[in-house]
Amino acid sequence: MTRIVDRDHGLELLRQMLRIRRFEEKCAELYSRGKIRGFLHLYIGEEAVAAGAIPCFGPDDAIVGTYREHGHALIRGTPMGSLMAELYGKANGCARGRGGSMHFFDAARRFYGGLAIVAGGLPLAVGLALAQKLTPPSSPLNKGGNKEGVTACFFGDGAVAEGEFHESLNLAALWKLPVLFLCENNLYAMGTALGRHQSQTDIARKADAYAIPAEAVNGMDVLAVEAATRKAVDFVRAGNGPYLLEYRTYRFRAHSMYDAELYRTKAEVAQWKQRDPIALFQQQLRAGGLLTDSDLDTMGTAIATEIAEAVSFAEMGPWEPLEDLTKDVYTPAKPAG
């Protein structure tokens, strides 16, 4: 494991992973109480990826996520209350309740979904990166004087079987676009193991075919995720074109709340839980003398308060009035004159 030098930084990474874990445990509970409906895809087990990777991106960068994006939005800074309200389907949710669990959006933080068609976000990310390339700080189109923006595109191992994955890597490399292809390989495309759907299971190697540099990273190690992502962001921001990272990780919970998990053994799950990114990182911090019981208590209490406030924000939130059903299908016409 990578060595941590800075206590505050280490505690912050731990805190962020715990925020995701506790938030999602609450989501599962609220789901069983009928407060949250539809599909709910939990990220539990994979927290080191979002917590390590997302802070490597600045406010001018764009983030494109998947339907398992609770952690990404949380780390990006979308308030927990607006995420919980979205899960409730309330009008004070981050997408006015129109999207739910799979469709978090946050324009202010350049968070472009929350997209639930596997690989469907890759072309979108290529386009966002194209816009960034066409509007560098020197461009008269760049009115805000933005820095060199890059786009982070998250997707899972299932996405690499889709044509859009291959088309997007090719186009991004051909046009040298500032996009990071960030594959969260949790070994299962829903219930189909990687080896049952890919002839080449080494995902990072697929980037070779498109002349894109790539690296596979231990996705259960938050420091490894962070270091690799930072390096990749620097490479892309310098104008070198796209980069692919494969985070090797594992989902501890079922694919969604409907999944009976017939496709993997309890022993396999138990084995991966030995590599729980939060437990491991806690041990590492303790071993380095950087974490005390009191730190953990303080952190735990603050997170519990944040979650309680988020639930209360969602509970108190209004339902979108029925007369607004078709609102936002189109942009309202500007009044004449």
Partner 1 sequence: MGKITYREAVRAGLREALQSDPRVFLMGEDVGKYGGTYACSKGLLDEFGQERIRDTPLSESTFVGAGIGAALGGMRPIVEVMTVNFSLLALDQIVNNAATIRHMSGGQFSIPLIVRMATGAGRQVAAQHSHSLEGWYAHIPGITVLAPATVTDARGMLLAALREPDPVFIFEHAYLYSIEGEHDESALPVDLTQAAIRRTGTDISLITFGGSLWKALEAADRLAQEGISAEVVDLRILRPLDISTVLTSVRKTHRAVVIDEGWRTGSFAAEVSAQIMEGAFYDLDGPVGRVCSVEVPIPYPKHLEDAALPQPEKIVRAVHTLMG
Binding pattern for the stretch 38-77 against partner 1, x by CB under 8 A and - elsewhere: ------------------------x---------------
Long-range contacts of 279-284 (CB under 8 A, 24+ apart): 280/1, 280/220, 280/221, 281/10, 281/13, 281/14, 281/17, 281/48, 281/221, 281/222, 281/223, 282/14, 284/1, 284/4
Site for partner 1 in 173-192 (CB under 8 A): 174-175
Q: Judged by CB, which is closer to partner 1: 168, or 249?
A: 168
Among 113, 158, 219, 242, binds partner 1 (CB under 8 A): 113
The token duo for 308 is 């309680």
Provide, rounded to whole angstroms, the least separation between the CB of residue 169 and partner 1.
9
Among 50, 53, 94, 225, binds partner 1 (CB under 8 A): 94
The answer to whether 156 contacts partner 1 (rule: CB under 8 A) is no
- Dihedrals phi, psi of 6, to nearest 5 degrees: -115, 120
Cβ atoms 147, 198 nearer than 8 A: no
| Dist CA 153 CA 180 (whole Å) | 6
Helix (H, G, I), strand (E, B) or coil at 246: strand
Among 70, 72, 96, 251, binds partner 1 (CB under 8 A): 96
The answer to whether 99 contacts partner 1 (rule: CB under 8 A) is yes
Stretch that binds partner 1, among 10-18, 134-142, 190-198, 292-300 (CB under 8 A): 134-142
List Cα–Cα distances, 32 to 39, 103, 253, 254, 315, in angstroms: 12, 20, 14, 14, 16
Stretch that binds partner 1, among 3-11, 48-56, 128-136, 215-223 (CB under 8 A): 128-136
Question: Following DSSP, what letter does each residue of 13-24 receive, concatenated?
Answer: HHHHHHHHHHHH
Question: Contact residues for partner 1 (CB under 8 A)?
Answer: 62, 93-99, 103, 105-107, 112-115, 117, 120, 122-132, 134-135, 140-141, 151, 163-164, 167-168, 170-171, 174-175, 326-331
